[in-house]
Structure 1
Amino acid sequence: MTVLTGWGRTAPTPARLARPRSADEAAALIKEASRRGVVARGLGRSYGDAAQNAGGLVLDCTALTPSWAHDPNTGLVTASAGMSLHDLMAELVPRGWFVPVTPGTRYVTVGGAVAADVHGKNHHVDSSFGAHVRSLTLLTADGATRVLGPDDELFWATVGGMGLTGVIVEATFACVPIETSRMRVDVERTRDLDQTLDVMTATDDRYRYTVAWIDLLARGGRMGRSVLTRGDHARLDDLPSRMRRDPLRFAPRPRLSAPPWVPGGLLNRASIGAFNAVWYGKAPRARRGVVQGIAPFFHPLDGVGHWNRMYGSRGFVQYQFVVPFGAEDTLRRVVERLSGAGVVSFLTVLKRFGEGTPGMLSFPMPGWTLALDIPAVQSGLAGMLTELDGWVAAAGGRVYLAKDSRMSAAVMAATYPRLEEWRAIRRRIDPHGVFHSDLARRLCL
């Protein structure tokens, strides 16, 4: 038995942990599962309880036959579910290819990327990870191994299905050709939330990747002031001469590591306020064509190993929601509520989503998405987030399952319109409820 948590470290539960090395080993373990069921787990980067199963079985899939293949003619990659995007990038980038979608960390597995239908800074152009998957292999509760494509409804129940339809064994997906391992980036500072929304609406479509960092502690006329970062993969002629000698070099490593024990309260209003002031102040009003590496552009927090420890032993809550275009008043109301309450969030980011995938429980939809990290010790946090859930639901939005650790089943049912369709497929493919998780119990899935 091993005590497991999500990346937020807020709700530890004990489970029997096993590490199958093949689909056959995983199938044998599934047959031995108790009434508490089984769920797959990758690198544990879902923030809440999606990869936990109190009293049951958890399959650590990172040891599943570590294999991958790439067809340079088509750009298609087939990779085992336990392979991390970090390891995949280390193989692909020097060959002139990049993953189609990456979230804010490259330390997620291919299986996790499919199960959470992860999104990145390019959603407004390229949608989420599931849109690029051509086929996946799924181990189901009856021990069968099924190869599924986008024409199968079980495929779309699995993409974004949080591991509750079976164990993803491998996936084939399309990748993106690149000339260099650098990004050509434009940086711009905005004075308030209204200007941030206006600039993003007017200019985001000029870039493949866009994101806005928001100073959540700014109030009054400065509320929602932001630093916009937009970019594209740099071409060879975008690089200075010294970088052209090895244009596809990619070897990122954490520069620092948080110690195992960090005192509670280190990230507080004073420390985050000081950081925000410096970060906003040093950003240029407008700068074009800045050359950055892939790692600092996409994964700045990966530069600090075990950065989740910085929130102390009580951990933190990651809250991410999306509201449709036309519901900007709701977004503004949420930012006002958080800013007025002095909520401490080390990283608050705003993005624009484009068209989502047909994934029945996939999170993205056309609209605005805001994500923030909040120390679990924040006063009045539970009640405030429940209040925000209501505003998001009323606006026709939803909360991201891969980051959620506290949403109610009622909010889930009200905000995911294809839930019953997904449940029907799950009952058919897993009639005895073999696949289960703490998230599934909490949300009555």
Structure 2
Amino acid sequence: MTRFEPADVRSWGNVLQAEHHAAFPAWRDQLARIVLSGRQEGRALLATGLRRSYGDSGLNPEGGLIDMTGLDRIIDFDRERRLVRVEAGLSFDALLGVIVRQGFFLPVTPGTRFVTMGGAVANDVHGKNHHINGTIGRWVRRIGLMRSNGEELELTLESDPQLFSATIGGLGLTGAITWVELEVLPIESAVMEAENIPFDNLDMFFSLAAESDNAFDYTVSWIDCLAKGASLGRGIFTRGNHAKTGSRLPGRGNTKFTMPLSLPSLCMNRYSISAFNSLYFWNGKRKAGRQNIPIYQFFYPLDSIGRWNRMYGSKGMYQFQSVVPPAVEKDATKEMLKTISASGQGSFLAVLKTFGAISSPGMLSFPRPGTTLALDFPNHGETTSRLMARLDDIVLEAGGRLYPAKDGRMPARMFKAGYPAWQDFAKYVDSGFSSHFWKRVSQE
């Protein structure tokens, strides 16, 4: 469909929702007509995928959306050169279903496989192996980009380094990504050799992270965000490598069931979260050790529950993800966890990980050397706002930054301090593209 039609669109966090006008192309040759139509109607556009961004970087209520999920084809797969070219609306789930059977895997993947290739590149996603492979942008070789004048460009780092770097991690603001050519990794099975190690406090986490980086390609930790005192920062450290033997069949996925509707907001409180976290930590200690597990189970535990965001109720949730530099990572992380624990707010899904020193190619890419903390906060209105403002101050003082893909309320001062290249990036923003996020942080 090449016309813009009314569509109810909301963020994955379910806090932000607004009436939009959206077009739904089924073929790439329809894109130019859609873009030019938007230009004639005076709509600033934004291409979107499966809309897993938590906040407003995927919203554009005053303009128009181009829903790219109908453009979901594999264009070419060169096994010898390990290059796959796909349309921007193809999901990681669909791509993995093809390449894993052929003995390949994505070089970088976030914690869900239900993202599109265009969305992954536009947010320059990272994963459990950042210390080894960096962000996905490092593995992109070519990009198709539709500008607001209807012209489709083919970008490479060599042909147009500035626009290429602005597009990777550029939140869809340089134009509509139409296709991506990506280098993929060879694997020998669809099985992971994994190890779970309980740790009792934050110091133990940092020790485990330091000793694991050289021997394990993938590391990540779940933490109990409400633990206090000597147990502050306790959790389960997970590390792993691709197994050299085992089935190459990825299976049908790991989704056990789907949340049919939003839970009452009262279900997400200090007592339920604390009880769950205590039980999860106890169970993690009980199951500690090494085991071989299916590849989807290792990389995408959140996908085991479809529409898990509904657990946070009709008021939704905010996600907070920060990164703070190595020189202050221990003190800043401890201060954030103390603040969260004292507030009684937090989530079941708190994640702690160290980033490596591999530079991200995008001008607005989030990862940098240091420690990243990510967790969800049920939306309790002003109480939640005050907590997140206090966390902002800690991150700002530490010289860190927040992740636009996870954000729904980052103050402009936080964005500009965390991304000093934002003004250089702005030179490459296509005036025919915009988003609620960009208007909020660039114009204040």
Note whether the superposition's TM-score is higher than 0.5.
yes
1:31 to 36, 41, 47: 36
Q: For the Cα contact (< 8 Å) 2:11–2:58, is it kept in 1?
A: yes
CA distance in 2, matches of 1:219, 1:6: 32
**1:280-319 residue pairs with structure 2 within 5 A?**
280-284=281-285, 287-319=288-320
CA distance in 1, matches of 2:81, 2:141: 12
Alignment correspondent of 2:61? 54
Gap runs ≥5 in structure 2 = 1-5
Alignment correspondent of 1:67? 74
Runs of 4+ residues over 6 Å off in structure 1: none
Alignment correspondent of 1:262? 263
1:213 to 219, 222, 228: 222
CA distance in 2, matches of 1:101, 1:279: 27
Deviations, residues 214-269 of structure 1 (Å, cap 9, x unaligned): 10111111110010000011111xxxxxxx4x443432152111012422222222
CA distance in 2, matches of 1:382, 1:391: 15
Q: For the Cα contact (< 8 Å) 2:47–2:172, is it kept in 1?
A: yes
Alignment correspondent of 2:439? 441
**1:211-360 residue pairs with structure 2 within 5 A?**
211-236=220-245, 244=246, 246-284=247-285, 287-327=288-328, 328-354=330-356, 355-360=358-363
Residue correspondences, number: 432
User: CA RMSD, aligned part only?
Assistant: 1.5
Q: For the Cα contact (< 8 Å) 2:212–2:219, is it kept in 1?
A: no
2:84 to 77, 85, 98: 77
- Which secondary structure state, in structure 1, belongs to the residue aligned with residue 327 of structure 2? coil
Q: For the Cα contact (< 8 Å) 1:4–1:15, is it kept in 2?
A: yes
Q: Percent identity?
A: 39
Alignment correspondent of 1:203? 212
Q: CA deviation at 1:353?
A: 0.8
Alignment correspondent of 2:393? 390
Deviations, residues 84-120 of structure 1 (Å, cap 9, x unaligned): 0000000111111101111010000000000000000
Change (3 A) 1:40 1:185: same
CA distance in 1, matches of 2:218, 2:33: 43
Alignment correspondent of 2:110? 103
TM-score computed with the length of structure 2 as normaliser: 0.94
- Which secondary structure state, in structure 2, belongs to the residue aligned with residue 8 of structure 1? coil
CA distance in 2, matches of 1:103, 1:65: 19
CA distance in 2, matches of 1:312, 1:194: 34
Deviations, residues 107-140 of structure 1 (Å, cap 9, x unaligned): 0000000000000000011000101001111001
Alignment correspondent of 2:135? 128
Gap runs ≥5 in structure 1 = 237-243
CA distance in 1, matches of 2:18, 2:323: 29
Q: CA deviation at 1:69?
A: 2.3
Alignment correspondent of 1:44? 51
Q: For the Cα contact (< 8 Å) 2:198–2:288, is it kept in 1?
A: no
**1:419-434 residue pairs with structure 2 within 5 A?**
419-426=422-429, 430=430, 433-434=431-432
- The residue type paired with residue 4 of structure 1 is V
Q: CA deviation at 1:193?
A: 0.9
TM-score computed with the length of structure 1 as normaliser: 0.94
